[in-house]
Amino acid sequence: MLENLTLLDLASAAARHATARHRVIAENVANADTPGYRARDLKDFSAIVKESFNARATRPGHLGFAGQTRPPRTFELALPASPNGNTVNIEDQAVRAVQAQGQHALALAIYAKAIDILRLGLGRAR
């Protein structure tokens, strides 16, 4: 019964995606002065989920979610280049870092609420 908790898998994958996005943003900021460096980012988590969503009926009235997400892939941001060819914009990266932090906090909140619901179902509310 508790082997396939898709909501927990999805929340965990969202947290991993936000962590990976933080890593890419940190690399961008670290290379802000590197000549020719191209700023990168990850696809939105929702786009990755839509690509990997495989709905199939396993029994009448039931739809399953594969819950499998591929490792995130980076892409170059279309930003104007500085005279040395670098496309990192610190303000843009700061905004992206705040977005990633919000995505991570949301994923952890979903995970925590799902655990609370499981505890309540087991009669072990906090």
Structure tokens at 96: 């992206």
- Does the residue 101 lie in any domain? yes
Flag whether 1 is in a domain: no
Is 103 among the domain residues? yes
Give CA–CA dist 57/21, Å, rounded: 33
AA identity, residue 24: V
Q: Does 126 reside within a domain?
A: no
How many structural domains comprise the chain?
1
Domain that holds residue 79: 6-120
Q: Using an 8 Å Cβ cutoff, are 126 and 51 in contact?
A: no
Give a yes or no: residue 125 inside a domain: no
| Segment holding 40, helix H or strand E | strand 40-42
Terminal Cα distance for the chain, rounded: 22
pTM tops 0.75, yes or no: no
In-domain check, residue 66: yes
pLDDT digits (tens, 9 = 90+) for 19-57: 999 999 999 999 999 999 999 999 888 887 777 766 555
